[in-house]
């Protein structure tokens, strides 16, 4: 069972994906996390990716698809029977070309997307969440200065590293990313609505209420297909 989380930046896709993947036994595949790991590794690929991420621009489709395909191969190689277990795609696909590329990638593996969960929240909420987000550069845990601060306000609760602000959580990059979502990614909702796979969940509630609804929607949808 493959699931896609869609929704604008700051709506809580990463926060929810971590919880829901654990609850449903799915592999969390975040393109943002894959790109940041490549940047952290100091590779040539990482320095190419860094220019796009720092500016809040989208990584080109061909490169994004190649990286996702390679990650699916890695997941399959370490899974029993060489089959990709259920994946939860977070932040991917973001363009029509990526959606078509994902369909093709899964089809060659005899698989398909089961359900697409769209998370929603008003724009002022998104901006406040992004401006207050802090992340752990070591283990990737996500915090918020008001809604979910680390216990001592400074260090990651999991690994003790000082949390920091993402380079693309500046006002200019936030504005750019939200505009790109409206232009390039929001039209994909129609693509999945047309396939009868789109479910919408109100993301403007506390984290547990949103997770409960997402799990209910996914299990309800997949049980009836």
Report the residue from 133, 140, 192, 221 that binds ligand AP5 according to the rule CB under 6 A. Answer: 133
Tokens of 102: 């994902």
Rounded to a whole number of angstroms, the minimum distance from the CB of residue 56 to ligand AP5 is 5
Report the residue from 3, 4, 19, 32 that binds ligand AP5 according to the rule CB under 6 A. Answer: 32
Rounded to a whole number of angstroms, the minimum distance from the CB of residue 41 to ligand AP5 is 15
Binding part of the chain for ligand AP5, among 31-39, 72-80, 153-161, 217-225 by CB under 6 A, reads 31-39
Annotated catalytic residue, options 94, 129, 134, 197: 94
143 strand-pairing partners: 134
Annotated catalytic residue, options 36, 129, 134, 177: 177
Q: Which residues bind ligand AP5 (CB under 6 A)?
A: 9-15, 30-32, 35, 52-53, 56-59, 64, 91-94, 98, 129-130, 133, 142-144, 147-148, 168, 177, 206-207, 210
């Amino acid at each position: 069972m493959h699931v896609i989380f869609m929704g604008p930046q700051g709506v809580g896709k990463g926060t929810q994906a971590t919880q829901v993947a654990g609850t449903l036994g799915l592999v969390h595949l975040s393109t943002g996390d894959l790109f940041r790991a490549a940047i952290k590794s100091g590779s040539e690929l990482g320095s190419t990716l860094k220019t796009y991420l720092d500016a809040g621009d989208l990584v080109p489709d061909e490169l994004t698809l190649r990286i996702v395909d390679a990650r699916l191969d890695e997941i399959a190689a370490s899974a029993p029977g060489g089959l990709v277990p259920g994946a939860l795609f977070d932040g991917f696909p973001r363009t029509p070309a990526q959606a078509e590329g994902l369909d093709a990638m899964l089809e060659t593996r005899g698989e398909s997307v089961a359900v697409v969960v769209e998370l929603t929240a008003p724009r002022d909420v998104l901006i406040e969440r992004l401006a207050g987000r802090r992340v752990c550069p070591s283990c990737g845990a996500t915090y918020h200065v008001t809604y979910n601060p680390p216990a001592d306000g400074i260090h990651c609760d999991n690994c003790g590293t000082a949390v920091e602000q993402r380079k693309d959580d500046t006002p200019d990059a936030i504005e750019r990313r939200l505009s790109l979502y409206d232009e390039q990614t929001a039209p994909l909702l129609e693509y999945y609505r047309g396939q009868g796979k789109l479910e919408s969940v109100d993301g403007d509630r506390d984290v547990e209420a949103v997770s409960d609804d997402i799990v209910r929607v996914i299990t309800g949808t997949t049980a009836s297909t």
